[in-house]
Amino acid sequence: MSTHSAKTASRTAKSARRSDKKCVENDRITVKKASKSARSPSRAVSAAVHALSFAAKSAHNSAEMIRTPLPPQLATGAEISVMPHKYRVGDTVYYTSPSFGRAAASGSYTVVKLLPSEGDDYQYRIKSSGEAFERVAKESQLDRI
């Protein structure tokens, strides 16, 4: 691109920015005038109509409006089927450790807290009286005593 055409392109961009700023300033002035005239009821309606028509013309001239689809709607409470946890806080359950990984102590545990599901299995925070820490167990690893 030659130096002359680069300068011309720069000037064109600057003039476009100036005209956009003028449109915005004109919209602000028109809105101020409409709010001042709104104090007198007789001129309020005509001033508001004038402000809206001017804003619509300037918006149409400066850029086209882009329409986007509405975001997906969330289901209401009646449509969501929530299965309750099988065990409650304070229940005594038998924990069976998984066969992979580190072998945990299978045995009797107390449910300390209900946790949200992971996939299709609810989770629980459980504690044994013989251990100083709590474990997280899936519902499929627990049985009633």
Percent of the chain with pLDDT strictly greater than 70: 48
Domain annotation covers residue 58: yes
Domain annotation covers residue 128: yes
Domain annotation covers residue 85: no
Judgement on whether residues 97 and 135 belong to the same structural domain of the protein: yes
Quick one: tokens of 114? 């209900």
Judgement on whether residues 55 and 100 belong to the same structural domain of the protein: no
More confident position, 57 or 142: 142
Which residue from 144, 92, 138 is spatially nearest to 115, judged by alpha carbons? 138
pLDDT tens per residue, range 7-37: 666 666 666 566 566 655 666 665 565 555 5
Asked if residue 60 has pLDDT above 80, the reply is no
Domain annotation covers residue 81: no
Q: What is the pLDDT of residue 139?
A: 93
Asked if residue 100 has pLDDT above 70, the reply is yes
Domain annotation covers residue 84: no
Domain annotation covers residue 76: no
Task: Tell me which residue range forms the domain holding 112.
Answer: 92-144
Domain annotation covers residue 14: yes
Contacts of 110 (CB under 8 A, 6+ apart): 90, 91, 92, 93, 126, 127, 128, 129
pLDDT, the chain, mean: 73
Secondary structure (3-state) at 13: helix
Into how many domains does the chain fold? 2
Q: What is the pLDDT of residue 65?
A: 73
Domain annotation covers residue 82: no
Quick one: tokens of 75? 């289901």
